[in-house]
Structure 1
Amino acid sequence: MNEIKKLIDGFSRFRAQHYEGNGAAFKRLVHHGQAPKIMVIACCDSRVDPAIITDCDPGDLFVVRNVANLMPPCETTGHYHGTSAALEFAVRFLEVRHVIVLGHTGCGGIRALLQGVSGKDDLGQFIKPWMEIAAAARTKALAETKTKQSTDVERACEQAAIQVSLTNLLSFPWVRERVEKQQLALHGWYFDLENGELRRYNPANNNFDSLAAVPVNHTV
Structure 2
Amino acid sequence: MHNVKPLPAYLLQRYHGWKATGYKENQQWYRRLATEGQRPRAMVISCCDSRVHVTSIFGADQGEFFIHRNIANLVPEYLPDGDHHGTSAAIEYAVTVLNVAHLIVLGHSSCGGVQGCIDMCQGHAPELEAKESFVGRWMDILRPKYDLVADEPDPAQQSRLLEKHAVVASLENLLTFPFIRSRVDKGDLSIHGLWTDIGEGGLEHYDHETQSFYAV
- 1:6 equivalent in structure 2: 10
Determine the structure 2 residue equivalent to 1:115. 119
What's 2:148 paired with? 140
Q: TM-score by structure 1 length?
A: 0.90
Match of 1:17 in 2: 21
- 1:83 equivalent to 2:87? Answer yes
- Residues matched between the structures, number: 207
Residue in 1 aligned with 2:185? Answer: 180
C-alpha deviation, 1:80, in angstroms:
0.6
Question: Using the alignment, how far apart are the partners of 2:86 and 2:26 within structure 1?
Answer: 34
Secondary structure of the residue aligned to 2:206 is strand
Structure 2: 5+ residue runs without aligned partners? none
Q: 1-side partners of 2:204 and 2:114: how far apart?
A: 18
Which of 106, 127, 148 is the matching residue for 2:135?
127
Deviation of the 1:14 alpha carbon: 2.0
- Partners of 2:21 and 2:59 in 1: how far apart? 16
2:121 and 2:143 in contact (8 A); partners too: no
Verify: 1:196 aligned to 2:201, yes or no: yes
Deviates more, 1:99-108 or 1:19-28: 19-28
Tell me if 1:39 matches 2:43.
Answer: yes
**Distance in 2, Cα, partners of 1:162 & 1:55:** 22
Aligned pairs for 1:141-156 (under 5 A) are 141-143=149-151, 145=152, 148-156=153-161
Shift of 1:22: 2.8
Identity level (%): 37
Cα deviation for residue 141 of structure 1 reads 1.9
Residues 39-76 of structure 1, C-alpha deviations (whole Å, 9 max, x = no match):
00010001002112222101010011000000000001
For residues 66-105 of structure 1, what are the structure 2 equivalents within 5 Å?
66-105=70-109
Give TM-score, length-normalised by structure 2: 0.91
For the 8 Å contact 1:113–1:128, the answer to whether it is kept is yes
SS in 1 for 2:120: helix
The answer to whether 1:164 aligns with 2:172 is no
